[in-house]
Amino acid sequence: GQSLEQPSEVTAVEGAIVQINCTYQTSGFYGLSWYQQHDGGAPTFLSYNGLDGLEETGRFSSFLSRSDSYGYLLLQELQMKDSASYFCAVREHRGGSYIPTFGRGTSLIVHP
Amino acid sequence: DSGVTQTPKHLITATGQRVTLRCSPRSGDLSVYWYQQSLDQGLQFLIQYYNGEERAKGNILERFSAQQFPDLHSELNLSSLELGDSALYFCASSVGGSGGENEQFFGPGTRLTVL
């Protein structure tokens, strides 16, 4: 079954703050990553959390709580160009290999 | 531009046919990953190669195979194509292959349509 759960859609207005949550169930957890994908485009890496806490990169921040198997991506000062799909991803250690697993993605719609 | 190239950009073929998708990783990256993205399944990991060797295998069908060549480019072969194989196929690359790297660089994808 699906190892990661994230909301299918989130809407917000320009200038606002939005949080996209991700919960996971994996064996051999090795960190949580976030990717952004615009319609028809390639996924691009946003951030990575290997340890608990907050990582900040400009308007984007990502948080991880390993005890809760939970993380989130926080987007501040939303802009229209932030309308895209956002994927959380983990690497699971299975059978001696590291398997990248992506959530189904959250479609963020930013309104003017 | 991620530095990862994929050809062709679009591919239209018929059921039962065989196609080959090609990927060149970023300069210096040793790992290549293949993913399938369809509307109802999200990004599905297929297979990873590291420096010419298969490193990890995901939900790859037996009709699909891949390889990585000495110059590090990779090819994904899809055979006995079915309508359900229609999807966007992405290649990604990273520097390492042992699981220590966290960032993958994705190519622009190949859109496969099976009629």
- pLDDT beyond 90 at B23: yes
Which pLDDT does position A53 carry in this prediction?
96
Of A42, A91, A103, the CB nearest to B90: A42
Percent of chain B exceeding pLDDT 70 equals 95
Which pLDDT does position B98 carry in this prediction?
58
Q: Which residue of A has its CA nearest to B104?
A: A45
Q: Residue B85 — φ and ψ, nearest 5°?
A: -80, -10
Percent of chain B exceeding pLDDT 90 equals 86
Strands (E), chain A: 4-5, 9-13, 18-24, 29-37, 44-49, 53-57, 60-65, 70-75, 84-94, 97-102, 106-111
The pLDDT tens digits of the residues spanning B59-113 come to 899 999 999 999 999 999 999 999 999 999 999 999 876 555 678 999 999 999 9
- Cβ neighbours, 10 Å, residue B111: 16
**Residue of A44, A93, A107 to mutate, testing the B interface (most B Cβ within 10 Å of its Cβ):** A44
As a whole number of Å, the end-to-end CA separation of chain B is: 31
Which pLDDT does position A1 carry in this prediction?
45
Which pLDDT does position A3 carry in this prediction?
83
- Could you tell me if B104 and B90 are in contact, meaning their C-beta atoms sit under 8 angstroms apart? no
* Contact residues of B toward A, CB < 8 A: 2, 33, 35, 41-45, 48, 55-58, 90, 92, 98-99, 102-109
**Residue of B29, B39, B43 to mutate, testing the A interface (most A Cβ within 10 Å of its Cβ):** B43
Using the 8-state DSSP alphabet, how is residue B24 labeled?
Answer: E
Q: Which residue of B has its CA nearest to A2?
A: B41
Low-confidence ranges of chain A (pLDDT < 50): 1
Which pLDDT does position B101 carry in this prediction?
61
Q: Which residue of A has its CA nearest to B48?
A: A99
Instruction: Find chain B residues with C-beta within 8 A of A93's C-beta.
Output: 99
